Structure 1
């Protein structure tokens, strides 16, 4: 087989864990919170237990039709942390015309040369993924799109790591 490239990552790839993450990006924040409860195994009961709150109260707060109980910002963060589903965050960023990307530790660990090498590798993998997706005039598969998105996020993380590593080398003035 010629003309195809392949890459492997040590991190979760192409968004398999969050099947509705793209939907949540265009969703109302209350609907996004409700979706978290629907997708979490065990639903509200399990989420409430992990959050240390009353299941009945949480059920009311997650009901988009309820006008008396409201999810606080701290509760929204806790809900997303215990579920591993940042749907409210995605909905908020979309509502504010921003993009939200998953962050991960600096794999270069502050080493400027490693940060540079990682960025070059990430750019190569992004280029290969985009070239594979754009080959021909046909439709692009969802997997090809997720692959491009994943490698674009890796490149963005690489740029951030490189900037931080270079900034760490700037001498600080005394006083």
Structure 2
């Protein structure tokens, strides 16, 4: 079975106030890694302990002005995993003209009809959220904005689930 995932945006869940993408968008990846250390309670010491590395070495690797020590890709992933702050990921995606989306479970669990239904339901809910937000000439509230973002996220997850369900039913090509 061949499956793939498509990510199109970084939206927090409805009502959440995650700003990871906004903080890291357009930021240099080294600055993003440095920011993780600044925003993590306990700083470099805590991160190094959770990563199982030397605090002094990690401090050098996170210093944007240091040219002798470099954060490896695996260390960048570990740094983001233990901190819960995916700033490097967002900075990298922005630098490559991409956007990212937190992975979501397939609510259709591979059922093609359920995936199709979920997609249609999600489209309706996004349309309703956008219509409510745009009603009138006034400013859109932060809550209405988060609702639209959340419903867009649900729609993107629905598209991915539908494509995966259809792919699972496609005959496999012989190599």
Superposition TM-score, scaled by structure 1 size: 0.84
> Does the aligned pair in 2 maintain the 1:112–1:162 contact within 8 Å?
yes
Q: C-alpha distance in 2, partners of 1:173/1:59?
A: 50
> Does the aligned pair in 1 maintain the 2:51–2:79 contact within 8 Å?
yes
SS in 1 for 2:101: coil
Residue 22 (1) aligns with residue 22 (2): yes
> Does the aligned pair in 1 maintain the 2:20–2:86 contact within 8 Å?
no
Bigger mean CA offset, 157-166 vs 136-145: 136-145
Name the counterpart of 2:82.
82
Aligned residues: 164
Work out which structure has the larger RCO, using CA pairs closer than 8 Å and 6 or more positions apart in sequence. Answer: 2
In the alignment, structure 1 segments of 5+ residues that lack a partner are 1-10
Name the counterpart of 2:60.
60
Cα deviation, residue 109, structure 1: 0.7
Cα deviation, residue 142, structure 1: 3.3
Name the counterpart of 1:138.
138
Describe the superposition over 1:93-118 as per-residue Cα deviations: whole angstroms up to 9, x where unpaired: 11111111111111111011111121
Superposition TM-score, scaled by structure 2 size: 0.84
Q: C-alpha distance in 1, partners of 2:24/2:111?
A: 36
Q: C-alpha distance in 1, partners of 2:14/2:82?
A: 21
Describe the superposition over 1:49-81 as per-residue Cα deviations: whole angstroms up to 9, x where unpaired: 111111111112112222222111111111111
Bigger mean CA offset, 108-117 vs 119-128: 119-128
Q: C-alpha distance in 2, partners of 1:147/1:25?
A: 21
Name the counterpart of 2:47.
47
Q: C-alpha distance in 2, partners of 1:14/1:35?
A: 25
In the alignment, structure 2 segments of 5+ residues that lack a partner are 1-11
Aligned-residue CA RMSD (Å):
2.0
